[in-house]
Structure 1
Amino acid sequence: MQLEIVVDDAEGLALAAAGGADRIELCAALALGALTPSAGLMRLAADCGVPVHAMIRPRAGDFRFSPADLAIALDDIRAARAAGLAGVVIGVSAPDGRLDAVALARQTDAAGPMEVTLHRCFDVTPDAAQALETAVALGVTRIMTAGHAPCAVDGAGELAALVRQSAGRVQVMAGGGVVPAHVPALASCGVDAVHASCSVPRPVTGPLGSLRIAPERPRADAALIAALRKAVNAAAAAGAFLARQTD
Structure 2
Amino acid sequence: MSLLEVCVDDVAGLQAAVEGGADRIELCSCLDLGGLTPSAGLMAEAARLALPVIALIRPRSGDFVYTAAEERVMRRDIELAAEAGLAGVAIGALGADGGLDLPMLERLARHAGHLALTLHRAFDLVPEPGVALEAAIALGFQRVLSSGGAPTAPAGAAQLATLVRQSRGRVQILAGSGIRADNVGALMAATGVTELHASCRIADDDVAAELLAFGFASAPSRRSSAAAVRALKEAIQARSAHLQISRCD
Q: TM-score, normalised by structure 2?
A: 0.94
Q: What's 2:204 paired with?
A: 202
Deviation per residue, 1:139-194 (Å, 9 max, x gap): 10100111111110111111111111101110001101111122122222111301
Which residue, 215, 218, 223 being the options, matches 2:219? 215
For 1:178, the aligned partner's letter is I
C-alpha distance in structure 2 between counterparts of 1:43 and 1:212, whole Å: 25
Runs of 4+ aligned residues of structure 1 deviating over 4 Å after TM superposition are none
Structure 2 gap ranges (5+): none
**Aligned alpha-carbon RMSD (Å):** 1.4
Deviation per residue, 1:98-138 (Å, 9 max, x gap): 11111111111111111111111111000110110111111
For 2:232, the aligned partner's letter is L
Kept in 1, the 8 Å contact 2:174–2:194? The answer is yes
For 2:208, the aligned partner's letter is T
For 2:195, the aligned partner's letter is A
Which residue, 215, 225, 240 being the options, matches 1:236? 240
Q: What's 1:17 paired with?
A: 18
C-alpha distance in structure 2 between counterparts of 1:168 and 1:47, whole Å: 31
C-alpha distance in structure 2 between counterparts of 1:214 and 1:47, whole Å: 29
C-alpha distance in structure 1 between counterparts of 2:163 and 2:60, whole Å: 29
Q: TM-score, normalised by structure 1?
A: 0.95
Q: How does 1:99-118 map to 2 (within 5 A)?
A: 99-118=100-119
C-alpha distance in structure 2 between counterparts of 1:139 and 1:27, whole Å: 22
Q: How many residues end up aligned between the 2 structures? A: 245
Kept in 2, the 8 Å contact 1:5–1:195? The answer is yes
C-alpha distance in structure 1 between counterparts of 2:119 and 2:230, whole Å: 26
Kept in 1, the 8 Å contact 2:20–2:228? The answer is no
Deviation per residue, 1:2-25 (Å, 9 max, x gap): 101000000010110121111100
Structure 1 gap ranges (5+): none
Identity of matched residues, %? 47
